[in-house]
Structure 1
Amino acid sequence: MTITSTHGGHDRAVPFGATVTAQRARRIEAVFGATVEYLAALLIVCEILILLAGVIARYYLSTPLPWTDEAASILFLWLASLGSVVAFRRGEHMRMTALVARTSPDRQAFLDTVAIAAALAFLVFALGPAYEYASEEIHIVTPALELSNAWRAAALPVGLALMAMMSLIRLFKSGNWRLISASVAAVAVLFAVFAAARPLLQDLGNLNLVIFFVGVSGITVLLGIPIAVAFGLATFGFLTLTTTLPITVLVGRMDEGMSHIILISVPLFVFLGLLIEMTGMARAMVAFLASLLGHVRGGLSYVLIGAMYLVSGISGSKVADMAAVTPVLFPEMRKRGMTSGELVALLATTGAQTETIPPSLVLITIGSVTGVSIAALFSGGMLPALVLAAALSAVVFFRTKKEVMAGVRRATGREIILALVTALPAIALPFVIRAAVVEGVATASEVSTLGIVYTFIVGIVIYRQMNWHRLVPILVETAALSGAILFIIGTATAMAWALTQSGFSNSLAAAMAALPGGAGTFLAVSIVMFIVLGSVLEGIPAIVLFGPLMFPIAAQMGVNDVHYAMVVVLAMGIGLFAPPFGVGYYAACAIGRVNPSEGIRPIVPYVLALLVGLAVVAAFPSISTCLLPQAAGGAGKP
């Protein structure tokens, strides 16, 4: 007996037994997935409460709690691991699907299943070393809580095991045994080929760097395998087949990357970004800007640029920023004659423009992997974004001369004042966050908790739009996005360590130092390099992978570290939001409900404007450093 399945885009015959298996897999996934999601949501709440207790006790009561950092660190690795499981269940691990999407439905279904099978293979191979790594941590005791460090380290093998289970469930959900068998066989054959080639690979020396870290990682990323898995497979293959190092080293570097105390702010800022959208704070800011500029030609485009600047100063999440601004502005902008392509082009490029505005997740990542002071990065990121905003505004001025203004009414002074009063609590939040870090009230890891409490109070007391039923879904969404980010950081940290140990960093430093033209040429090469990396890998994995290599070279070349951070972050932002490979562009299209093909031509002048603005930022270091307490970045506390 057979029934019809639509997996892969068109009908095909599927055996009845396979369908029963698929239905059972879906039921198991529903229970299993919901359990993990609620646990991850609970961990986020616990993190917020622990960090907030630490801030209150230290700053307001002058009685620091020595255990808060330890407890937060232990729970954070569990949150990262369970969040990765949630992201895997929801299919939200970062992938490059531009090439896969262009294939036929059958081939696309095959490649999607190969991606799951490849992830399962990596997880199974890493599970044993992860268990061994956690076992070795049993005898290490934390100083404040006096707990075995195995309680923290166990998060990795548990998370890997749960992701492996989720991989199996997702394979069985397809209900197509032929597709599953072909995909698993393809992955098994590739692994067997590499295993058989081990004697040859061990004689190739540094050529293996190209084979694994360019070839394997590049091909797997292009095939749509999750970026974190691609990095993990490349590093695992390199260590296993070409060195004698134990694989527990890979797990140790993953632990180091995923549990860095600075990165605790990632899930909290993601949650804050979703929270301000839910409470109506973003809508209030947009309404105020629209009351000021809505009556001028191109005014709503300027409002979009300004709104993204302000909202980015709160959330740190570009997806949250775009989702908050788009529903408010796009309908009216369409009424004024702007095409869908023009709208999404401007939306995407404002996403690139605001990459340096604190609390940017990329800036937090730079601080965690390079040692640059996050307070300095937060201070240095404000003006570079303004330069790019001015460049985009210049394009808007010339492209909106024919905007339809019929029926557009100028807001009265009373309406402007009312909109300002309504928006003031929302507008104040970015300044509260920045002041809390600069004045030492809270670290960059803790300040998001103050923002969350502030947003709850404002949402309940002033805007009265607190939808309590949405809190759990928002927490789950936060866990999924955070898990996807942190899992990439973990495997990218392992790859960066392997590259460093191989001597690649020394060779790269020597090659960059030998470039003619000194610091200017170095910055130009860095811009090109990070635009490409941003389009292929996205900002966070690119900076984790190459930040530890490039920032020391920048220091040797005499480039200020904060200035260099602004240049590379903006370059990655342009790559991330520029078609055809930038995934941020496709996220903007999805949020704006616009066909990606419509924005390809309109986005060109905006991208050129961003490049001009980036050139100005690169040429004048004072733009990035003039707001620092001293005209220098440097390492420091977060």
Structure 2
Amino acid sequence: MTVLGILITVFLVLMLLSVPIAVAMGVASALALLIATDLPLVAVGQRMLVILDSFPFLALPFFILAGLFMEQGGITRRLVDFAAIFVGRITGGLAQVLVGANLVMSGTSGSSVADCAATGTVLIPAMAKAGYSRAFAAALTAAAATAGPLIPPSIMFVLYGAIANVSIGQLFIAGIVPGLFVGLYLGIAAYLISKKRQYPKLPPVTLREAAITTVKAAPALLMPIVVLGGIVGGVFTPTEAGAIAAVYGFVVSMFVYREMKWSHLRGMLVTTGVISAAVMLIVSAASLFSWILTRERAPELLAGALTHFTNNPMVFLLFINIILLVLGCFLEAISLLIMMTPILVPLAAAYGVDPVHFGIVVVLNLTIGLNTPPVGMNMFIVCAISKITVTEYTREALPFLLALLLVLLLITYVPQTVLWLPASLPS
């Protein structure tokens, strides 16, 4: 059997046995090298370690820690109150607040799963108490959290940029408009459903109440402005921005909001270390896996097959969207991103697709997968919070998934929606 045959066969068998993806990629790669090549076993360790010697990866634990600081500091409640000022008076007020709060939360956590858990814990019970269907609230929460990895800072953009050698700052800026489109399309879907079901508006707020709420939320709202402003202004690199975001989150949560205690710090540092180590283990295993694929000319073979099928980049992007949406239903988003990026980016380059545009398309694809059965992490989180079944969730999630697919089609086939903002700002 060939190297590729052993690699793919062992990997698929291990995945069917529910072996963790990092272990599956590592074992499949090691067996393929040992059985079908003359390379020494030490090559496995070397290839797994070389990818970790990358400066951009230093941003990963800092952005994770910044998100944990802001969550512990009571940011969710303040951002929910802030969002209510602007969208609460629309039909289905709490539904619009949920979408708006997720958009604002995205600028502090960088993670879809974190946004989903934070806003879901606060708003799903509140929406149920106000007469909203629990399944509706759960489905909208999961869908709205899709904006998390699109609006900076974004953990998935850090990973994609580091692996594909693409500017993380450009990715951060390019994700803003697609993230806003996610909020707009979901807001329209929520409005139409709320109007049909006669879900209520929120009561009006006075100008004084609005001012007080805005002042309370201002420290949290400033984080993405500080991060993006520093990157765009050339004050610091995206990696340094991660450290600044962590320090800013610590100061705001500890000394401004005063909801984080020194006793919380150890647990958050441990959590950051565990999450970072898990991600970097996947990165190492995926690096070895993709190196073997590249060594065996798999990207060239795949590119040849695709170009024989079509030379049209629009058809290529449709093909990639379908593949990623299907894979996203069965594999975890970050694992899939790390595994597929080294394979797909050269293919996209062969078709003349801008790597920044392609990165936004890939990340949105994989984030949509977080909301779909059978393994969507956001789906399981909101089902647990709302105490509903996956079947109930899926029925209510369909219109929101349709809205997300429309955004995906928009950014795929109108690249200017992604690229005009980075092009209009200083490099």
Q: Which moved more, 1:449-458 or 1:607-616?
A: 449-458
Is 1:360 the equivalent of 2:154?
A: yes
Take 1:504 and 1:390, find their aligned partners in 2: how far apart are those partners? 39
2:179 aligned partner:
385
Q: State the distance in 1 between where 2:16 and 2:231 align.
A: 39
Q: How much does 1:475 deviate?
A: 1.4
Q: What letter matches 2:415 in structure 1?
A: P
Matching residue within 405, 411, 427 for 2:200: 405
Question: Which residue identity lines up with residue 405 of structure 1 in the other structure?
Answer: P
Give distance in 2, aligned partners of 1:470 and 1:594: 31
Q: Could you tell me how far 1:630 is from its partner in structure 2?
A: 5.8
Residue 507, structure 1, aligned to residue 293, structure 2: no
Rounded to whole Å, the distance in 1 between the matches of 2:141 and 2:113 is 11
Partner of 2:49: 255
In structure 2, the residue matched to 1:454 is: 248
Show the counterpart of 1:226. 20
Report SS of the residue matched to 2:148. Answer: helix
SS at match of 1:235: helix
Question: Which residue is equivalent to 1:132?
Answer: none
Relative contact order, CA 8 A, sep 6+: which one is greater?
2
Post-superposition shift, 1:581?
Answer: 3.2
CA deviation vs aligned residue, 1:221-276 (integer Å, no higher than 9, x gap):
23221111111111111111111111222211211233422111112111111110
Equivalenced residues, count = 426
Specify the SS of the correspondent of 1:581: coil
Kindly indicate whether the alpha-carbon contact (under 8 Å) linking 1:515 and 1:521 is maintained by their aligned counterparts in 2.
no
| Distance in 2 of aligned mates of 1:614 and 1:326 | 24
Q: Is the 8 A contact 1:532 1:572 kept in 2?
A: no
| Corresponding residue number in structure 1 for 2:64 | 270
Q: Return the alpha-carbon distance in structure 2 between the equivalents of residues 267 and 358 of structure 1.
A: 15
Name the structure 2 match of 1:564: 358
Partner of 1:579, secondary structure, is coil
Q: Which amino acid aligns with 1:466?
A: M
Q: What is the match of residue 378 of structure 2?
A: 584
The TM-score, its normalising length taken from structure 2, stands at 0.94
Report the 3-state secondary structure (helix = DSSP H, G, I; strand = E; otherwise coil) of the residue aligned with 2:309. Answer: coil
Letter in 2 for 1:600: T
The answer to whether the aligner puts 1:375 opposite 2:165 as a matched pair is no
Is contact 1:562-1:632 (8 Å) kept? no
Secondary structure at the aligned position of 1:445 is classed as helix
Counterpart code for 2:304: A
Residue correspondence of structure 1 range 57-72 to structure 2 within 5 A: none
Among 115, 118, 125, which residue is 1:331 paired with? 125
RMSD: 2.1
The code of the aligned residue for 2:200 comes to M
Which amino acid is the alignment partner of residue 486 of structure 1?
A: M
Q: What amino acid is the match of 2:85?
A: S
Alignment counterpart, residue 435 of structure 1, candidates 205, 208, 229? 229
For residue 485 of structure 1, give the secondary structure of its aligned residue in structure 2.
helix
* CA separation of 1:307 and 1:504: change in aligned 2, threshold 3 A: same
* Alignment pair present for 1:421 and 2:208: no
Q: 1:352 to 1:490 in 2, by over 3 A?
A: same
SS at the partner of 2:213? helix
Q: In the aligned structure 2, how far is the partner of 1:270 from the partner of 1:428? A: 17
C-alpha distance in 1 between matches for 2:40 and 2:387: 48
Deviation at 1:491, TM superposition (A): 0.4
| CA distance in structure 1 between the aligned counterparts of 2:295 and 2:20, rounded to whole angstroms | 25
Q: 1:225 aligns to what SS in structure 2?
A: coil
Which residue is equivalent to 1:348? 142
Cα distance in structure 1, aligned partners of 2:12 and 2:238 = 34
Match of 1:519 in 2: 313
Greater shift after overlay, 526-535 or 606-615? Answer: 526-535
TM-score (norm 1): 0.64
Among candidates 7, 22, 25, match of residue 212 of structure 1: 7
Q: Alignment identity in percent?
A: 34
* Superposition map of 1:539-558 within 5 A: 539-558=333-352
CA distance in 1, matches of 2:278, 2:382: 19
Q: Give the 3-state SS of the residue equivalent to 1:540 in structure 2.
A: helix
In the other structure, the counterpart of 2:113 is 319
Do 1:221 and 1:227's aligned partners in 2 also have CA atoms closer than 8 Å?
A: yes
Q: Which residue in 2 is equivalent to 1:538?
A: 332
Q: Judging changes above 3 Å, is the alpha-carbon distance between structure 1 residues 625 and 300 closer, same or farther for their aligned structure 2 residues?
A: same
The one-character-per-residue Cα deviations of 1:561-595 (angstroms, maximum 9, x if unpaired) are 11111111111111232122323322343455544
Contact 1:352 1:573 in 2 (8 A): yes
Shift of 1:559: 1.4
Counterparts of 1:418 and 1:370, CA distance in 2: 44
Paired residues of 1:563 and 1:625 also in contact (CA < 8 A): yes
- Do the aligned residues in 2 keep the contact of 1:625 with 1:632 (CA within 8 Å)? no
- Show structure 1 runs of 5+ residues with no match: 1-203, 634-638
Residue aligned with 1:356, SS? coil
1:484 paired with 2:310, answer: no
Amino acid corresponding to residue 101 of structure 2 in structure 1: A
**Correspondence for 2:32 among 211, 231, 238:** 238
Deviation at 1:211, TM superposition (A): 4.1
Residues 631 and 443 (structure 1), Cα distance of their counterparts in 2 relative to 1, 3 Å cut = closer
Contact 1:265 1:445 in 2 (8 A): yes
For 1:605 and 1:299, the matched residues in 2 are separated by: 18
CA distance in 2, matches of 1:532, 1:555: 23
Match of 2:94 in 1: 300
The answer on whether the counterparts of 2:232 and 2:426 sit within 8 Å (CA) in structure 1 is no
Any conservation in 2 of the 1:284–1:419 contact (CA below 8 Å)? yes
